[in-house]
Each structure stands twice: as structure tokens, then as C-alpha cells.
Amino acid sequence: MQQSIIHVSLLVNDYDEAIDFYCNKLNFDIVEDTTLTPDKRWVLIKPPGSSGCCLLLAKAANEMQTASVGNQSGGRVFLFLETDDFYRDYHRMLNNEIIFVREPLNESYGIVAVFKDLYGNLWDLIQRHSQKNN
């Protein structure tokens, strides 16, 4: 048997502001942007070079969803962005005014720092030791 997670929904307030942040500040790619109804789009994004799971940008459609925008994990790190060059991406993100709430640390598993997206969700930027450039 083979299974895989192909998409993770990320609640957003607005499709275009989310696309602007993820694509222009984090350098993600748009995989698909299809209008389904006047108020609903199917927007998939992914990190550059990724062949794995995509984020589905899901516009909050009611009060409960709106209240969860930016807090989908109850204040814990929600998503983990792996890179092949930590300091290249860390400095690019700083230049793009990404807010880091935990500075880089060299942990047993790799280099990691925590940043916030435009809604306040926490992300790890991580380069595993096995991925370091030699």
C-alpha cells in the first residue's frame, strides 16, 4: 500500500495577499490558481524545487475559520520549511522583512530558526545536517 499527503489547507484572509506573501517574500511557486465560484479559488503553492506536499490557500469562509487564521496550531510551530542552504534562505528572508521569532540554532538534527508568516503562523526554517552543503 502507498499513500501520501498531497495538500495541507492553510486558512487565509485573502487569496491575493497570501499569494503575494508566499510567492514574493518566501519565493514559493504557484502550482494552480483556479476560480471555482466568485468567492472561492483553488490555489496551490509550493516551495521552489519541491516535489512533495503543496499548500492549499483556503480563504476563511465563516467566523470560526476567520478566528483560526494565523492560529491553526494553537501557537505551536505549524509548518516546517526545509532548505538545502539555511543561511542563503535565512538572509533572503530577512531582506524580505520576514520576522524571525527565534534566531538560528545549531541543534543535533540541523540548523533551525522560527519565523512568522503574514498571519502569525509559526514556521521552522530548517536545514538538516544530512542536507548541508560541503
In tens, the pLDDT along 47-57 reads 999 998 999 99
CATH number at residue 79: 3.10.180.10
Domain end position, chosen among 69, 90, 114: 69
Same structural domain, 78 and 100? yes
pLDDT in tens, 70-129: 999 999 999 999 999 999 999 999 999 999 999 999 999 999 999 999 999 999 999 999
64 and 74 housed in the same domain: no
- Spatial separation of the C-alpha atoms in residues 87 and 45, rounded to whole Å: 23
pTM over 0.95: no
What is the torsional sign of CA 58, 76, 123, 118?
positive
Q: How confident is the model at residue 134 (pLDDT cuts 50, 70, 90)?
A: very low
Contacts of 116 (CB under 8 A, 6+ apart): 98, 99, 100, 101, 122, 123
Report the alpha-carbon distance of residue 9 to residue 25 in Å, rounded. 19
* Residues forming a β-bridge with 113: 125
